[in-house]
Amino acid sequence: MKTLDDLIAEGVQGRRVFVRSDLNVPLDGDKITDDGRVQASLPTISKLAEAGAKVVVAAHLGRPKGSPDPKFSLAPVATRLGELLGKPVALATDVVGESAKSTVDGLADGGVALLENVRFDARESSKDAAERGALADEFAALVGTDGAFVSDGFGVVHRKQASVYDIATKLPAYAGGLVLAEVEVLRQLAGEPKRPYVVALGGSKVSDKLAVIESLLPKVDTLLVGGGMCFTFLAAQGHGIGDSLLEAEMVDTCKKLLADADGKIVLPTDIVIADDFSAEANTETVPATEIRDGWKGLDIGPDSVAAYGKVLRDAGTVFWNGPMGVFELAPFAAGTRGVAQAIVDGDSFSVVGGGDSAAAVRLLGLPEDGFSHISTGGGASLEYLEGKELPGVAVLEA
C-alpha cells in the first residue's frame, strides 16, 4: 500500500491531488456540533498543501437522495476547515460541474478546494459499477493526467463508492495518514492483543452488532454489554424489561449467544429507569431484574458502572463501541462517562470505535489523549473486526 509520505516524496508541487476525507459532521441547522472529523482530516490536507499541492477535497454529509439538498451542503464544513487551516477553503457549488471545474482551476499551489457533497450525485453510491466509474472519471479529470488520489476518509472505506473505491482505479492511489493509522490499529486488535482483551459494546440494537459479537466472542476475555441492546439480552434471560427497547426477533439469538459465550458476556446488574424519554423524566435506579411496566431503561446503573470499571481498568486491551445509555441527556450520561473514565484510568491499549462513542468522549469532556486511539469510523471499524473486506482499503492494496 503506497502512502501519503510516498506521494510527497515523489513530489506534489503544483500537482492536483484529489483527497477523499470524512467530513460527515453532526449539524444543528448550519452549526457544527462536533468537529472531530474535520480535525482528524487536517493533518493529511495540511501536509499536502504545505508541500505545494493543489488539494481537491471530496466528502459527503448526511444522506441526501442523490440530488442537491441545501440542508446537506458542506458550506459550514468549508468554513470550519478554513478556520482550522488558517486560510480560505474554496467551496464548489456542485460535485463535478462548472463550479467544480472553475474552483479547481482557480487553485494556487498550496490551495485547498472542497467539492460540494458528493452524495448530491446519485452515481456516487450507485450499485452500477459503470455509473460509479463514469463519476470517478470526472473526478479524475478534475485533477488531470499528473494528478493523484489520497484516501483519507476511514469512515467510508467500507463503502464501494465512486469517491472511495472507483477513483482509486483511475489515478495513482495512496493511503492518507488517517486511513493508515486506523488500519494499523485495527490490525493490532485483530492480531494478538495484550490480555485480558475486553470489549465494551453499547448502542441501541443487537442486530447492528450481531456480526461483530459473533466474530469477537472467540477472541475476547470479556464482553461488556450496555445501551439499549442490553434489554434484549435481559429479555432472553426471562426478565421483564418494561417499556425498554426490545428487538423481539433477536431474543432467541441472544439466548444462543449467552449459552455459547462460556460466561464471557457480562450484562448490567442495575439500570437507571425513567417514566419518559426526556431529561425532565422521573428516574429511579433498580436491579436489572426489576424494571417495572410503563418504565424504560435509559442507562446502566452505578453498580454496573463500578463492576464494568474494574474489568476495564484491569484490561490489557480495550475496544469500546457504543454508549452505555442516552448520554446526550444528563440524567442518563453516568454510565457512558463511567465506562469511558475507567478506560482512561487504566493502562490498556484502548480503541474507541468511532460514531457515538467518539462523540461521547468529546461531549462529556473526557481527555481524548486518555485513549490510545479514537477511530473516525464506527461502521468501518466494526466491519473490519467482523472480518469483512473493506473495499476502500483493498483497492489501495491491489
How many angstroms separate the CA atoms of 395 and 149, rounded? Answer: 12
pLDDT of residue 358: 87
Closest CA to 17 of 117, 132, 159, 139: 139
Sequence-distant (≥ 6) Cβ neighbours of residue 68 within 8 angstroms: 94, 116, 117, 120
φ, ψ at 208 (rounded to 5°): -70, -25
Sign of CA dihedral 301, 303, 306, 311: negative
Intervals of the chain under pLDDT 70: none
Give CA separation, 309 vs 193, 346, 357, in Å: 20, 9, 16
pLDDT of residue 378: 80
What count of other Cβ atoms lies within 10 Å of the Cβ of residue 264? 19
Q: What are the binding residues for (2R)-3-phosphoglycerate?
A: 37, 119, 159
Catalytic amino acids? 37, 205, 355, 379
DSSP 8-state secondary structure symbol assigned to residue 348: S
Q: What are the binding residues?
A: 22-24, 37, 60-63, 119, 159, 209, 297, 328, 354-357
Query: For 206-301, where are the alpha helices, taking DSSP H only?
Result: 206-216, 230-236, 251-260
Strands laid side by side in the 54-58 sheet: 90-91, 112-114, 54-58, 16-20, 148-151, 173-175
Does residue 111 contact residue 88 with C-beta atoms inside 8 Å? no
How many angstroms separate the CA atoms of 341 and 323, rounded? Answer: 13
Residue 8, classed as helix, strand or coil, is helix
Three cell numbers written together for 351: 480503541
Averaged pLDDT of the chain: 96
Domains defined along the chain, listed by start: 4-176 (3.40.50.1260), 185-386 (3.40.50.1260)
φ, ψ at 334 (rounded to 5°): -65, -35
Locus of grid cell 458528493: 118
Q: What are the binding residues for ATP?
A: 209, 297, 328, 354-357
Residues 139, 141, 143, 145, Cα dihedral to 10°: 130
DSSP 8-state secondary structure symbol assigned to residue 326: -
pLDDT of residue 355: 78
pLDDT of residue 213: 94
Bridge pairing between strands 222-225 and 265-266? parallel
